[in-house]
Amino acid sequence: MKTLATLALLVATSTVAMADDAKVKLEYKFAVGDVIRSKVVHLSTVETKIKGSTQTAQSRSISTKNWKVEEVNADGEATFIHSVENIDMWQKVTDRPEQRYNSEKDEVPPAIYSEAAKSVGIPLAKITVDAMGRLVDRQQLGGTPSSESQILPILPNEPVAVGAAWYSPDDISVRAGNGAMKHIKTRQVFRLKSVSGGIATISTETQILTPIDDPMLKVELIQKLTRGTVKFDIEAGRVASQQLDLDETIIGFQGETSVMNYLGRMTEELIQEAPAKVASVPMAPKKLKESPAPASPTTKPVKSDVTESKSWDKIIKGSAEQEPFEVDEPAAKLASKPERPRVDGVPTLADPSTKPVEEEELKLGLPE
């Protein structure tokens, strides 16, 4: 009996080890006629200090993103029409009146949101991605053209185990302080953190590969320096939710004492219910009434130091009808977020010593 018990324990232990080492295949799964809708929330607070004066700009936007899959080829490449069903936007800048626009309630948008209002309810782009989420083709159908080269979180080519990492390189063109265009090499680092209940939790972070010493380049790049978490539904082949955070400080972009603090967050959550209407063919945007030009308010910044204590409550301060959304970490205090090693004003550089060993073992392919 003792021998049988010992054997059973060894078998159980072996089974657990195999489960821990098991690899999972992550890939997007699309079918013709699929309509994928998600709620997207963007929050940001930008504080700038120049010559002792400080100005704060706060913004919030809530939108419903709509993707209608039109074609899926034998290689798993999916082509879909991207549109935005509705938007709810708010902005507040120091010493200026608040600006608001809700596409479902307001007939006339403020001038600042006139272009955004024209983009609601119409096909904006025809996009093709592969099964790993890499962009294959994009055709602009309406609205403002986008320069984003990454539409979806990138998935690995091969099955991966918990702890494995993979990369997505990118080449970003930005304008330097002297007006010249410069190409900056970056990479997005993804790592499988856990798999539970059919959901894969993936961490992601942007790393800058090109050395940067021009503060104006850092200003241009600041919105690209995100890090966060993706929840991926393995069986459905969809992103269930994701959260990307941004917290950067740039010094010397307009004089040695100038400082910019940028605090931002983007959350996206899949919507399950079907919409009443889906934009499927190009159509003329709804004609909007002319919005009277707002009076030019005084733009004199408030003389105060840059706020050291950052809070997500500040981003939506004074904004009515703000809808709550769930996040994986407390939103009240940014201090609870893990900090990455960096020097103020210098974006995170890729550290070769942190290159995961799994990259060589898995031999994951990278986009051309």
Residue 290, domain member (yes or no): no
CATH no. for residue 65?
Answer: 2.30.230
Residue 150, domain member (yes or no): yes
Smallest Cα–Cα separation from 49: which of 94, 97, 96, 112?
94
Which contacts of 218-221 are long-range, i.e. CB under 8 A and separated by 24 or more positions?
A: 218/248, 218/250, 218/253, 218/345, 218/346, 218/347, 219/250, 219/253, 219/260, 220/174, 220/175, 221/172, 221/174, 221/184, 221/347
Q: What pLDDT is stored for residue 216 in this prediction?
A: 81
Strands 227-233 and 181-196: unpaired
Under a CB-based contact definition with an 8 Å cutoff, are residues 64 and 84 in contact?
yes
Residue 17, domain member (yes or no): no
Residue 19, domain member (yes or no): no
Residue 261 has, within 13 A of its CA and on its CB side, a CA count of 16
**CA separation for the pair 251, 257 (Å, rounded):** 7
Residue 281, domain member (yes or no): no
Confidence band (pLDDT; 50, 70, 90) for 77? very high
| Domains contained in the chain, number | 1
- State yes or no: pLDDT of 289 exceeds 60: no
**CA separation for the pair 227, 245 (Å, rounded):** 5
Residue 287, domain member (yes or no): no
Under a CB-based contact definition with an 8 Å cutoff, are residues 135 and 127 in contact?
yes
Residue 254, domain member (yes or no): yes
Confidence band (pLDDT; 50, 70, 90) for 165? very high
Residue 296, domain member (yes or no): no
**pLDDT tens for each residue of 309-331:** 344 444 444 444 444 434 344 33
**CA separation for the pair 72, 61 (Å, rounded):** 32
Q: Domain containing 151: what range?
A: 25-272+306-362
- State yes or no: pLDDT of 279 exceeds 90: no
Asked whether the whole model's pTM tops 0.75, one would answer: no
